[in-house]
């Protein structure tokens, strides 16, 4: 039973590093974000962008094409 009042079933996993302000700003610099960008983006969105940036160098065994998307 959840006691936080939330109805979602998302499981939280422990992270290896505590999120600190310097770490957050480092991630922003790695993404190429400006201070103006930070005013328009949420912390959660920036964290999601950083996580997704790790997928950029991943080599997938199978890549989808338009036919696969149409079939989906």
Nearest partner of 43 among 23, 24, 30, 29, judged by Cα: 24
Structural domain total, the chain? 1
Asked whether residue 15 is domain-assigned, the answer is no
For the whole prediction, is pTM greater than 0.85?
Answer: no
- Give the per-residue pLDDT at 6: 53
Asked whether residue 36 is domain-assigned, the answer is yes
The range of the structural domain enclosing residue 43 comes to 21-71
- Give the per-residue pLDDT at 2: 46
Q: What is the mean pLDDT of each run of 10 residues along the chain (72 residues)?
A: 53 74 93 94 93 84 88 90
- Give the per-residue pLDDT at 5: 53
CB contact at 8 A, 17 and 23: yes
Q: How many CB atoms lie within 10 A of CB 44?
A: 8
């Amino acid at each position: 039973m959840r006691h936080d009042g939330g109805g979602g079933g998302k499981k939280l996993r422990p992270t290896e590093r505590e999120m600190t302000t310097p770490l957050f700003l480092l991630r922003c610099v790695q993404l190429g974000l400006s201070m103006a960008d930070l005013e328009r983006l949420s912390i959660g969105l920036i964290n999601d962008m950083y996580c997704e940036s790790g997928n950029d160098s991943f080599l997938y065994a199978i890549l989808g094409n338009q036919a696969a998307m149409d079939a989906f």
